[in-house]
């Protein structure tokens, strides 16, 4: 007789969860920089010269 087919734990769900959490964290970290860039572009687009 052969022994039971032993497999380690399935790590794919854990890897996907970590990747999703990392993507959300990166988005939250980058959001203020993207928002500031868009506000600056909007200011320049309307023709103002005192954009910060």
pLDDT for res 8 = 74
Enter the pTM of the model: 0.62
Locate 26 and state its tokens. Answer: 């990166």
pLDDT for res 1 = 55
DSSP 9: -
How many Cα atoms sit within 13 Å of 42 on the Cβ side?
Answer: 6
pLDDT for res 3 = 57
29 falls within a domain: yes
27 falls within a domain: yes
- Domain count of the chain? 1
Task: Looking at the chain, list the stretches that DSSP marks H as alpha helix, in order from N- to C-terminal side.
Answer: 12-45
Please list the pLDDT of the chain residue by residue as tens digits (52 residues).
565 677 777 899 999 999 999 999 999 999 999 999 999 999 999 999 888 7
Taking the CA atoms of residue 39, residue 42, residue 47 and residue 51 in that order, the dihedral angle to the nearest 10 degrees is: 10
1 falls within a domain: no
């Amino acid at each position: 007789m052969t022994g039971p087919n032993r497999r380690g734990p399935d790590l794919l769900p854990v890897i996907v969860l970590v990747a999703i959490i990392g993507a959300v964290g990166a988005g939250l970290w980058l959001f203020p920089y993207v928002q500031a860039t868009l506000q600056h572009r909007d200011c320049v687009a309307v023709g103002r010269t005192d954009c910060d």
